[in-house]
Amino acid sequence: MSEITPVISATGLYTPPETISNEELVASFNAYVELFNQRHAAEIASGAVEPLQPSSAEFIEKASGIKSRHVMSKASTLDPETMGPRWPERPDDEISVMAEIGVKAARAALESIGRDPEDVDAVLCAASNMQRPYPAMAIEIQQALGIEGFAFDMNVACSSATFGIQTAADFIRSGNARSVLVVSPEICTGHNNMKNRDSHFIFGDVATAVLVEARDMAPARHWEIVGTRLKTVFSNNIRNNFGFLNCATPETIGTPDKLFVQEGRKVFKEVVPMVASMIVDHANDLGIDPASLRRLWLHQANSGMNRLIAQRVLGHEANEDESPTVLDTYGNTSSAGSIIAFHLHNADLAAGDTALICSFGAGYSAGTVFIRKAA
Ligand code: COA
């Protein structure tokens, strides 16, 4: 039996309209620092409590490349008394927030090629953090779109979307599905600790969707999936302990280790070589010269990491054309980052161009998806 070739038929993006600049974020953080230091003035004076240090917009841009980010709930995120997204709890018969933005990205993907939801067989909600354990977010998205078949959630942190693409491609190769939506709604501000000076600036919110299909049903303009590879290596350097067994009391919810924590320097040092050699090895195994890759849509966590990875892969410092950045305006959007970069920066490539979508993050986890433009 000849294998069915999976392709990327379409992508979709939902960008929340509200944005927070570094300057706005730092003003809020510094107001929180001032409040904290005032409230703990006596303990600080006695040496029992360390005073908090202010943040700086210059540091953020220099250390990460981030200038601004889109968010789901600007006012509460900037309020020094809340510092996180807040909205009224929705009743069970109303679509949940995470599903709502996933549906918007998915609809954009389907409509871009005039695909009827009835022709889609499966929905994967691939993201860093689900809004609830069950019913699966993916099933709510499936129902809202009017898709039959099956759906499930998967969480591989920042690599969720590439792991989802490989899973979808495998379903297609095996004949278990012909059209699969991989949806990545990422409300990262909900699991970031906006009171942590080292990482309060990192994340933004967004939703993306990738439609993976059997080549014979795809539109003429598609991307052949030439090869996918996944890798995981356990590390505590990026961790989030939130969970129903770890949040026994309301008091412990929101404590620092129940939100995103990282050893940013260690992550930088360990993940760059791991990902660069994974890309080069995978390219070589596929018979692709890494230096010939037309474009790298890399995970968007830190511009310095991307510069180093692209340099090791291409053999020279990559320019924006070779390795586009969306981090400056979106921040780190976890698994959605490389998909945003692909969605916004693929139209100019020519038929036959080979390029790479690559993600990496907590786990550690990394995924490579080599694709070739068909037309
Ligand atoms: N404002 C001002 N100064 C700050 C600051 C802030 N918000 N946060 C930290 N600093 C200071 C530190 O106190 C330190 O000062 P010191 O040198 O006097 O001790 C200095 O800046 C350097 O801090 P450090 O945390 O070591 O910065 P960094 O250059 O390593 O950059 C990250 C931090 C997080 C941006 C960077 O390590 C990174 O992006 N790593 C990879 C993260 C990643 O990919 N994570 C994946 C998430 S999915």
3-state secondary structure labels for all residues of the chain: CCCCCEEEEEEEEECCCEEEEHHHHHHHHHHHHHHHHHHCHHHHHHCCCCCCCCCCHHHHHHHHCCCEEEECCHHHHHCCCCCCCCCCCCCCCCCCHHHHHHHHHHHHHHHHCCCCHHHCCEEEEECCCCCCCCCCHHHHHHHHHCCCCEEEEECECECHHHHHHHHHHHHHHHCCCCEEEEEEEEEHHHCCCCCCCCCCCCECEEEEEEEEEEHHHCCCCCEEEEEEEEEECCCCCEECCCCCCCCCCHHHCCCHHHCCEECHHHHHHHHHHHHHHHHHHHHHHCCCCHHHCCEEEECCCCHHHHHHHHHHHHCCCCCCCCCCCCHHHHCECHHHHHHHHHHHCCCCCCCCCEEEEEEEECCCEEEEEEEEECC
Protein residue whose Cα sits closest to atom 1 of ligand 1? 55
For ligand 1, say whether the CB of 269 is within 6 Å of any of its atoms: no
Active-site annotation holder among 125, 158, 188, 358? 158
Write down the domain spans for the chain.
Answer: 224-373
CATH for the stretch 224-373: 3.40.47.10
Alpha-carbon span 297 to 369, nearest angstrom: 10
For ligand 1, say whether the CB of 365 is within 6 Å of any of its atoms: no
Alpha-carbon span 327 to 332, nearest angstrom: 6
Tens digit of each residue's pLDDT, the chain (375 residues): 568 999 999 999 999 999 999 999 999 999 999 999 999 999 999 999 999 999 999 999 999 999 999 999 999 999 999 999 999 999 999 999 999 999 999 999 999 999 999 999 999 999 999 999 999 999 999 999 999 999 999 999 999 999 999 999 999 999 999 999 999 999 999 999 999 999 999 999 999 999 999 999 999 999 999 999 999 999 999 999 988 787 655 566 556 778 999 999 999 999 999 999 999 999 999 999 999 999 999 999 999 999 999 999 999 999 999 999 999 999 999 999 999 999 999 999 999 999 999 999 999 999 999 999 998
For ligand 1, say whether the CB of 240 is within 6 Å of any of its atoms: no
| Annotated catalytic residue 247 | no
